[in-house]
Structure 1
Amino acid sequence: MGTPNLTPMAWQESYLLGFAAMDAAHQEFVACVAALQTATDAQLDASLAAFELHAVQHFAEEQQWMEGSAFPATECHVDEHRKVLASVREVQDILRATPERRQVARDLAQALVDWFPGHADYMDASLSHWMSQRAHGGAPVVLRRNMAQPDTPNIAINTHTKGVSA
C-alpha cells in the first residue's frame, strides 16, 4: 500500500475541555493517531508502538486523576481505555505474525478517529468537569473562536454552573 491517501486526524478546538493537562494529552493523542494514519508501510510498526506508549501513559494519567478524586465513573472510563489498549495490542500481535496485514493497523487508526470525539465529549468532559468542580467549585471555562466569525469568542450561558461560560 505504501502511504495512505487520506486526510489525517487534526486537532480541533471542539476537543478542548478546559483542563490543561488533559487538553495537552489529547493534542498528543491526535498527533499520534495522525502519524499512524499517514505512516508508510515501513513506518507503521514504529508509529503503532509510539501510539501504544502514548496511550498507556495518557490512560494511566487519567486513571490517577479519577482515583485521586474519587470520580464516580472511574470503572466505566478505565474499562473503555483497557479495550482500546487491548485492540492496539491485538493489532501489534497480528502485525508480528503476518506483517503483510498492514491494513489492520490502518483500520485501527480509523477506528481511533471515530472513537475519540465521543469519548472526549462524554467521558473525558465529565472527568474534566469533575476535576474543575472539586478544585475550583465550578465547571471549566473554555474559550473557542466562533467559526463563522473567527475573531469572536463563542460565549454561552452554562446552565450547569453559576454564570456565563465560554
Structure 2
Amino acid sequence: MPVHGEIVLGFDPMDEVHAHFEIQLATALACPDDRLLQCIGELTEHLKHHFAAEDVWMRDSDFPPAQCHIDEHAAVLQSAQEVLPLVAQGRLSVGRAFVRELANWFPAHADHLDSALAAWMSKQRFGGKPVVIKRAAAHHH
C-alpha cells in the first residue's frame, strides 16, 4: 500500500514521495542539536531525489508550467546547499530556520504546483488522449 502523508494529491508515486518528505521534515524539526547537521543533510538528499523525480515527470509529460516548478525546486536545493556548511560550522539557528521555512513552503508548493502536476499526470494516465508513460508505469505496487 502507498504511504500517505498529510498532503494527498491522488497520484500515488508523488503522494509517497511527499509522505516520506513529511516524515523527514518532522524529524528535522524535532531533532536535537547534535543531529541537526545529519537531519538537514538527509533532508537535502531526499529533496534531490524528490525534485528530480518530479522534474522527470514534468519533462516526460510535457507539463505546461514545468519551468516555474523546476526553478522553484532548484531554488530550494540551492538554499539547502548553502545552509549545510553553515550548520556544519555550528550555526544551528540557520539550520533550524531553514527547516521551518521548508515546512512553511511545502504545503503551498504542493497545493499549487504539485497538485497541478498530479492532476495533469493522472489525466494523462487515466483519461484524455492515450499517452505513452515511460519509467513511472513500473512504479505500481
Q: Shared fold by TM > 0.5? A: yes
What SS does structure 1 have at the residue aligned with 2:33? coil
Q: Secondary structure at the match of 2:34?
A: coil
Aligned runs of 1:1-150 on 2, under 5 Å?
11-12=5-6, 15-96=7-88, 98-99=89-90, 101-137=91-127
Per-residue displacement from partner, 1:56-78 (whole Å, max 9, x unpaired)?
00000001100000001111000
**Amino acid of the structure 1 residue aligned with 2:117:** L
Identity of aligned residues (%): 38
Q: Distance in 2 between matches of 1:59 and 1:94?
A: 23
Moved over 2 A (4+): none
Distance 1:76 1:53 in 2: 22
Letter in 1 for 2:12: A
CA distance in 2, matches of 1:45, 1:93: 9
Question: When you count helix as a share of all residues, which structure comes out higher?
Answer: 2
Instruction: Write the letter of the residue equivalent to 1:76.
Output: C
Root-mean-square deviation (Å) = 1.0
- Report the TM-score when normalising by structure 2: 0.85
* Paired letter, 1:64: V
More relative contact order, 1 or 2 (CA 8 Å, 6+ apart) = 2
**Whole-Å Cα distance in 1 between the matches of residues 22 and 108 of structure 2?**
14
With the length of structure 1 as denominator, give the TM-score of the two structures: 0.72
In structure 1, C-alpha distance between the alignment counterparts of 2:124 and 2:11, rounded to whole Å: 12
Per-residue deviation at 1:79? Answer: 0.4
When Rg is computed on C-alpha atoms for both structures, the one with the higher figure is 1
In the alignment of these two chains, the number of paired residues is 124
Q: Which runs of 5+ in 2 are unaligned?
A: 129-141
Q: Which amino acid counterpart does residue 119 of structure 1 have in structure 2?
A: H
Give the superposition deviation at 1:113: 1.1
Q: Give unmatched runs, 5+ long, in structure 1.
A: 1-10, 139-166
